[in-house]
Amino acid sequence: MSEKRYDYLIIGNSTAAIAAVEAIREVDRAGTLAVVSDQPEHCYCSPLITYCLAGKIPEEQLDYRPGDFYEKAHVDTILGAAATEVKPAAHEVVLADGRVLGYGKLLLAIGGVPFVPPIPGCDLSGVFTFTRHEDMRRVQEFIDGNVVRQAVVIGAGMIGVKVAEAFAHLGIETTVVELQDRVLPLALDQVGSQMAQHVMEEHGIRVLTTAGATSIGGGSGKVQSVTLDTGSRLPAQIVVVAVGVRPNTALAEHAGISVNRGILVDDHMRTSDPDIYAAGDCTEGFDPLLGETRPIAIWPGAYMQGEVAGRNMAGQDDGYVGSIPMNSIQVCGLPTISVGLTTPPEGAEVLQYKSPDGKRYRKFFILDNKIVGALFVGEIDRAGIITGLIRDGKDVSSFKQSLIERDLGLLALPKHYRKHMVSGPGIEV
Partner 1 sequence: MKRIYAKEDYCIGCRLCEIYCIFQHSGCDTLVKAFSQKDCLPDPAVRVEEDGAISFALQCRHCDDAPCVAACISGAMTRDPETGAIKHDPDKCIGCWSCVMVCPFGAIQINLEKGKVSSKCDLCGGDVMPACVAHCPNEALVYE
Whole-angstrom Cα Rg for the chain: 23
Q: Return the range that interacts with partner 1 (CB under 8 A); candidates 27-35, 219-227, 266-274, 410-418.
A: 410-418
Q: Return the range that interacts with partner 1 (CB under 8 A); candidates 89-97, 235-243, 346-354, 387-395.
A: 387-395
Residue closer to partner 1 by CB (options 142, 299) is 299
Q: How far is the CB of 328 from partner 1 (least distance, A)?
A: 4
Choose which of 48, 136, 207, 371 interacts with partner 1 (CB under 8 A): 48
Looking at this protein, which amino acid is placed at residue 88? P
By the rule CB under 8 A, 300 interacts with partner 1? yes
Q: Return the range that interacts with partner 1 (CB under 8 A); candidates 45-53, 123-131, 248-256, 289-297.
A: 45-53
Q: Return the range that interacts with partner 1 (CB under 8 A); candidates 92-100, 113-121, 234-242, 377-385.
A: 377-385
Residue closer to partner 1 by CB (options 91, 363) is 363
By the rule CB under 8 A, 58 interacts with partner 1? no
Choose which of 102, 238, 307, 364 interacts with partner 1 (CB under 8 A): 307
Q: Return the range that interacts with partner 1 (CB under 8 A); candidates 116-124, 174-182, 359-367, 414-422.
A: 414-422
Residue closer to partner 1 by CB (options 228, 304) is 304
By the rule CB under 8 A, 351 interacts with partner 1? no
By the rule CB under 8 A, 339 interacts with partner 1? yes
By the rule CB under 8 A, 169 interacts with partner 1? no
By the rule CB under 8 A, 277 interacts with partner 1? no
First to last CA, the chain: 60
Q: How far is the CB of 118 from partner 1 (least distance, A)?
A: 31
By the rule CB under 8 A, 158 interacts with partner 1? no
By the rule CB under 8 A, 63 interacts with partner 1? yes
Q: Return the range that interacts with partner 1 (CB under 8 A); candidates 226-234, 239-247, 282-290, 379-387.
A: 379-387
Q: Is residue 178 within 8 Å of 184, Cβ to Cβ? A: no
By the rule CB under 8 A, 415 interacts with partner 1? yes
Give just the sign of the alpha carbon dihedral 271, 75, 111, 85: negative
Q: Return the range that interacts with partner 1 (CB under 8 A); candidates 28-36, 44-52, 229-237, 350-358.
A: 44-52
By CB atoms closer than 10 A (0-12, 13-18, 19+), residue 393 is middle
Choose which of 6, 8, 51, 365 interacts with partner 1 (CB under 8 A): 51
Choose which of 96, 186, 350, 422 interacts with partner 1 (CB under 8 A): 422
Query: Residues 110-139 vs partner 1: string with x where CB under 8 A?
Result: ------------------------------
Give the separation between CA 12 and CA 301, rounded to whole angstroms.
16
Under the rule (CB under 8 A), what is the footprint of partner 1?
A: 15, 19, 45, 47-48, 51, 56-57, 61, 63-65, 299-300, 303-304, 307, 326-328, 330, 333, 335, 337, 339, 380-385, 387-388, 391, 408-411, 415, 418, 421-422, 424-429
